[in-house]
Structure 1
Amino acid sequence: MITFFGILIILFGLITLILNPILKNNTFFQRFTTRRSIQILLVGIVFSIVSGTVFYAEPGTAYAVQYPWGGQKAVFRQGINTKMWGRLIPIQFELPIKYVIPGRDGELGEQSEYANVDVAKYWAFSDAVKARIATSVVISINTQDEAQFLSVADRNKTEKNLIRSRIIPNIDQSIKNTCKLMDAQDYISGQASDFDRYFKDQLENGMYVLEEYNESENREVIGDSSTVRTVVNQETKQKRFRIKIKDGLPVREPGNSLKGYGLTVVQAVVTEIDWEETFDKRLQLQKEEVAQTQLEKQQAEREFYRAQKEKARGEAEKAAERARLEKEQIQKTIAAETEAKVAEFNLVKEKKQFEVEKFKAQSKKVAADAEAYQNAKLVNAGLTPQERAEWEYKTAVGVARELKALKLPEFYIEGGGKDKAQANLLESLIGADLAKTMLKSNKQ
């Protein structure tokens, strides 16, 4: 721009210097004397000199400056730098290169002015299915090694030539090799990430050396122990390619790498694929088949879960009925156990009550025996016949009253004998022991 203005100023100074003597009566040219025209010429020359010695480096751009005397230098910093009438080779730090699938109207859509955009090409996969592959690649130049950058700039002359002659051929070769490594069906079945990985690796480190191989057909054995026949598929086998491996590493083509130019692959991805019409139809049929399969699978799952639901409901009802019956059983068992416990408790209570009453009766009997014995002693000690008769009467009445609680036998058998005949009715009522005691007392 400065050079352009300098040239304009020089031309203007020359015009005024030449036409001033000719057009002396012209008011406009009368303003420019010979001295002023020379001054304008000098200003134009200064502008031209300045524009040839310095230049402005734009941000994000590296410059290779080649001097007229054969020297050169690299400029990676933006701002004003000297070039001393040298030649400039500007190259962006990062070079965006895109393959775009055009729209129906043939337009490539809105793109950046700094990107190199081309129409996507058709490529064939290993199963002969063709597709337009849209890619987005970003290549970064080496700004750390000045000598390597100057070598690349010197050999390629311009940024556009570097892209067209070095980078794009590598991109095309990488896409071609990667397409040979897989079928179109493999790509849509989950190997898209492998495609991007192979694509970027070949761009940065060199092209794979591919080797052709045939997938071996497994022989099918038909027959029994007596007759065996081998059937081999006679159909034409599809050619397949794989990466040639040596010492565990892929073999690469020598001298075909962007790394040799100090270029680094920042990004290399497939953004879109436009399959050919026949494959699109096949994909549509597959999608419909998959959709139908998914629908049938969902229906089968729905029936399965419905059956599981009915089964669970039946199990729940069985569990509820079992719980109800177990509850009734437990209630009946508890009631029976309670009744048995109550009966056992009543039995123990009756036994205890019987023992208590028995001991009470024995206590009363002992007390009556003691009282009778005492009275007998008193009588023998010197009571009058009247007092003795009265004592015997009271004693008999008292003993009978005390023994009312006792349950005596209703019948008894008297034995014969001389001494037994002398026993009175009181002996039979109070028992053998009490009678014996009183009898002995009377004898004494």
Structure 2
Amino acid sequence: MTTLGVLILVLVVLVLVLDPILEKWKSIDIIKDSKKWMLMVLVGFALILIFNPFTRTAAGYRTFVETINGNEKIFFNPGYHFAGFFSKTTDYPDVITTVFSAEDQDQVTSNPPFTIRFNDATKATAQATIRWSLPNDTDKMIQIHKAYRGPERLAKNSLVPYSRECLKFAAQLMESETHYSGGRSKLKEDFRDQLQNGQYVLEYKTEYVRDSMSNEKEKITTSFIRIGEDGLASRIKSDIQQYSINVDFAAIDEVDYEEQVDRKLAQKIEQSTLESVSKQSLITAQQEALTEKARGEQMLAKVKAEQEADKLQAVIQAEKAKEVAQQEALQAKYIADKIAEEGRAQAEANKALVSAGLTPEQRMTMDIEIADKVSSNMAKIKFPEIMIFGGGSGNSPTNPFDAVGLDAYRKIVESMRGSK
């Protein structure tokens, strides 16, 4: 708009200068005298454009206005606002982003990565991104403008160094091993907490511990947060808290450890891998041992069951054989008793014949008949396949002849012969 006002003003001046010259020498009247008031209107309009009393606030920004008489005000809403003639304006973004990165960033401010040092004295290069939200309070914004005179100076002189210091302070609260072993979230938490609420006041404690291996004293220095009388962490306040600048977002994009930490990390990963493999092998071996044990117990139970079944079957068969043998023995005894009775009857008959007086030929014939009779009857006897005998002092027979009654039969025959 200023450029347009300058062009209009130059055009009006040319017209005013050339009009009398051309009218005198060429009789050309550019503009009639009765209408020259229009040129005065254009001059006034050009001056308004050049010394524009209006200002435009873009979306996502707020405008600080310093009037010609020294008054200060802030426009937060987007659009055109009357600022007054000869006023000075400065635009501030609602959100300022500070970036620490090795890559070029299209932001309000971009800075290279910086070095942080952990509690164990190891170093790393850190990259981070922080988004700051400026206050929506007129007094706070006026104080910010008086202190920094613009967003670039605010970022350069306050936001960037404060962010860098907060991350360094947060790194001092842990060792590098703690960080790469799962402490990233803790580092981010401490970082953001200090950005918003102020840096921790750290205290250090030095102890000397005797090494159990070398028997030498080792110096160990630990850092911790100082606790105030109210039980809260002691903090160092900064302009961030003074001007109510809020942290909308804070991220630690990358932490690149130094070489010795990378070597230590690689060794730990290798050791962890070996331990994992060893544990897995142990678990597999234990599982295989349990499987083999269960399989052996199963086989043992199977064999035991088979043996019990065989034993039971043998007992059943033995009992069955015993019963069969007893039946056969009873049958044989019955037959033998029958033969004995027949023999006794025959003996009585023979005795009667002998008493009647037999010739030698008749006696011989009778003996032959008795022997044939005995032989044929004994041939009919079915001896049991299994015979069970008792002890020598009981009522049970102790020999096969007693078991089937043959001994009694044998004695009858001998008495028959003796009686002859």
TM band (smaller chain):
0.5 to 0.7
Who is 1:135 aligned against?
A: 128
Who is 1:273 aligned against?
A: 255
Who is 1:297 aligned against?
A: 275
Cα deviation 1:219-242 (Å, max 9, x = unaligned): 86x9xxxxxxxx96345x365433
**Which runs of structure 2 are paired with 1:39-78 in the superposition (5 Å)?**
39-40=38-39, 42-43=41-42, 45-46=44-45, 48-49=47-48, 52-78=52-78
Shift of the 23–184 alpha-carbon distance from structure 1 to 2, 3 Å rule, reads farther
CA contact (8 A) 1:96 1:137 kept: yes
Who is 1:328 aligned against?
A: 306
Shift of the 57–193 alpha-carbon distance from structure 1 to 2, 3 Å rule, reads same
CA contact (8 A) 1:89 1:158 kept: yes
CA shift, 1:320, in A, is 4.0
2:233 aligned partner, one-letter code: P
Name which of 256, 264, 276 aligns with 2:246. 264
CA contact (8 A) 2:97 2:132 kept: yes
Shift of the 208–297 alpha-carbon distance from structure 1 to 2, 3 Å rule, reads closer
Name which of structure 1's ranges 283-292 and 2-11 shifts more when overlaid on structure 2.
283-292
Q: 1:318 and 2:310 equivalent?
A: no
**Which runs of structure 2 are paired with 1:17-416 in the superposition (5 Å)?**
17-23=16-22, 39-40=38-39, 42-43=41-42, 45-46=44-45, 48-49=47-48, 52-85=52-85, 86-101=87-102, 108-109=103-104, 111-112=105-106, 114-143=107-136, 145-218=137-210, 233-234=216-217, 237=219, 239-247=221-229, 248-253=231-236, 255-275=237-257, 279-280=258-259, 282-301=260-279, 303-305=281-283, 307-308=285-286, 310-332=288-310, 335=313
Name which of structure 1's ranges 336-345 and 195-204 shifts more when overlaid on structure 2.
336-345
- Give me the whole-angstrom Cα distance separating, in 1, the residues matched to 2:142 and 2:291: 82
CA contact (8 A) 2:122 2:261 kept: no
Shift of the 69–292 alpha-carbon distance from structure 1 to 2, 3 Å rule, reads closer
SS in 2 for 1:45: helix
SS in 2 for 1:245: coil
- Give me the whole-angstrom Cα distance separating, in 1, the residues matched to 2:163 and 2:127: 11
Name the % identity. 20
- Give me the whole-angstrom Cα distance separating, in 2, the residues matched to 1:233 and 1:201: 40
CA shift, 1:137, in A, is 1.0
Shift of the 41–11 alpha-carbon distance from structure 1 to 2, 3 Å rule, reads farther
1:16 aligned partner, one-letter code: V
2:132 aligned partner, one-letter code: I
Cα deviation 1:357-389 (Å, max 9, x = unaligned): xxxxxxxxxxxxxxxxxxxxxxxxxxxxxxxxx
CA contact (8 A) 2:131 2:250 kept: yes
1:292 aligned partner, one-letter code: E
CA shift, 1:76, in A, is 1.6
CA contact (8 A) 1:14 1:37 kept: no
CA shift, 1:140, in A, is 0.8
- Give me the whole-angstrom Cα distance separating, in 1, the residues matched to 2:206 and 2:249: 34
- Give me the whole-angstrom Cα distance separating, in 2, the residues matched to 1:198 and 1:136: 15
- Give me the whole-angstrom Cα distance separating, in 1, the residues matched to 2:313 and 2:77: 102
- Give me the whole-angstrom Cα distance separating, in 1, the residues matched to 2:3 and 2:44: 11
CA shift, 1:337, in A, is 7.3
Shift of the 150–249 alpha-carbon distance from structure 1 to 2, 3 Å rule, reads same
- Give me the whole-angstrom Cα distance separating, in 1, the residues matched to 2:82 and 2:8: 23
Who is 2:15 aligned against?
A: 16
- Give me the whole-angstrom Cα distance separating, in 2, the residues matched to 1:38 and 1:189: 82
**What is the aligned residue count?**
333
- Give me the whole-angstrom Cα distance separating, in 2, the residues matched to 1:44 and 1:129: 70
Structure 2: runs of 5+ lacking an equivalent:
325-340, 346-420
2:300 aligned partner, one-letter code: R
CA shift, 1:116, in A, is 1.4
Q: Superposition RMSD on alpha carbons, in Å? A: 4.1
CA contact (8 A) 1:125 1:180 kept: yes
Name which of structure 1's ranges 189-198 and 120-129 shifts more when overlaid on structure 2.
120-129
- Give me the whole-angstrom Cα distance separating, in 1, the residues matched to 2:243 and 2:224: 27
CA shift, 1:302, in A, is 5.3
- Give me the whole-angstrom Cα distance separating, in 1, the residues matched to 2:251 and 2:323: 93
CA contact (8 A) 1:212 1:239 kept: yes
CA contact (8 A) 2:208 2:217 kept: no
1:93 aligned partner, one-letter code: D
- Give me the whole-angstrom Cα distance separating, in 1, the residues matched to 2:125 and 2:211: 38
CA contact (8 A) 1:210 1:241 kept: yes
SS in 1 for 2:52: helix
Shift of the 320–219 alpha-carbon distance from structure 1 to 2, 3 Å rule, reads closer
CA shift, 1:139, in A, is 1.0
- Give me the whole-angstrom Cα distance separating, in 2, the residues matched to 1:184 and 1:169: 23
1:252 aligned partner, one-letter code: R
- Give me the whole-angstrom Cα distance separating, in 2, the residues matched to 1:291 and 1:172: 30
CA contact (8 A) 1:99 1:119 kept: yes
- Give me the whole-angstrom Cα distance separating, in 2, the residues matched to 1:238 and 1:299: 34
CA contact (8 A) 1:219 1:232 kept: yes
- Give me the whole-angstrom Cα distance separating, in 2, the residues matched to 1:183 and 1:294: 19
CA contact (8 A) 1:178 1:198 kept: yes
TM-score, normalisation: structure 1: 0.62
TM-score, normalisation: structure 2: 0.65
- Give me the whole-angstrom Cα distance separating, in 2, the residues matched to 1:44 and 1:337: 137
SS in 1 for 2:199: coil
CA contact (8 A) 2:195 2:247 kept: yes
